[in-house]
Amino acid sequence: MDQQSEWSADQLSILSENLSYYTTCVNIVKRIHTEGPAESKKLPKFPSLPKRKLLSLYGEQAKKRKMMTPEELHQYLITKEIDVTKTARKEVFIFSASDITTPDIAVAKLQEGYRQIQRQEATSMCFNLQYGYLLDVTFELYAKEKESGLQGQTWDDWLKQNIGISSSYSRKLREISRLLRPYMLRVSTLGLPFIEVYSMRKELKAMIVYSEEIRRYWSTQNQPIILQLETMFSVTFQPRAPARARKNNIDLRLLIYFIVFNLYIL
């Protein structure tokens, strides 16, 4: 039997899509190699990834996380609330292998270590929400200067040059900040990594609009928070300076925000 006849029309389409993608990538790399460093000053644009991967031909589809209902997510998040009135204790992670002599000691050490990691995750959650807000404010400044012709860089290039992050990462931080910042005083007690929170963004939106009771729960502060989060970024920008004084204007404003931010967290 001929090899091609073993594949269905849909499977052949997947093969063709992947063949085209990888062939194009190989040709681009070959061209870069042939042209040499003198001509390779800018990386050529690579094609978009195939929508269907080769693994799907073998029944190995990526396992999708089961979506939670609003009530299930609400209850799950409640289990992740931690005591944030204490700071993470670094000394928990200072030990030698000779200290771990029994399974009970290992379990106790792991449990305490995980509590400290969760506490640190909660602190990071607070910072990520505020940083996303800072990015939103900065983008508004950037957009105004772009519109008036004072800014020639793309937003992505500006972020990479001045901050060292990509616009896609910035977009994630801004999206989660806009979604959860109204509930910051409660959400900042969640010991969850940012990537997990971001992966649940659609479920979080559904949860927030699901019921007034859930919104009220996450709007209520349940622990004393040392940081005055709602006023952390109360600084307002002054009217635009004359053109001769506007050099690096966005950078200076961003610096002001970072100074205010650090004054509050020290």
**What pLDDT shows up at residue 256?**
43
Per-residue pLDDT of the chain (266 residues), as tens digits, is 444 457 788 888 888 888 999 999 898 888 888 887 766 667 788 888 888 887 777 765 545 668 899 999 999 999 999 888 877 778 888 888 888 889 888 998 898 888 888 888 888 888 999 999 999 999 999 999 988 988 888 999 999 999 998 989 999 999 999 999 889 889 988 999 999 999 999 999 999 999 999 999 998 877 665 443 434 443 333 333 433 334 444 444 454 444 444 434 43
**What pLDDT shows up at residue 247?**
42
The CA angle 210-214-218, to the nearest 5 degrees, is 130
**What pLDDT shows up at residue 215?**
93
Place of tokens 């019921």: 211
Q: Report CA-CA distances (Å) from 90 to 44, 108, 121, 191, 247.
A: 45, 16, 14, 16, 42
**What pLDDT shows up at residue 252?**
44
Predicted confidence (pLDDT) per residue in 179-232, tens digit: 998 898 899 889 999 999 999 999 999 999 999 999 999 988 776 654 434 344
The CA angle 126-131-137, to the nearest 5 degrees, is 135
Q: Report CA-CA distances (Å) from 110 to 119, 186, 239.
A: 14, 26, 53
Q: Which two tokens stand for residue 157?
A: 């290039």
Domain boundaries defined on the chain: 3-58, 70-265
Residues 6+ apart with CB under 8 A from 142: 151, 155, 158, 250
**What pLDDT shows up at residue 144?**
92
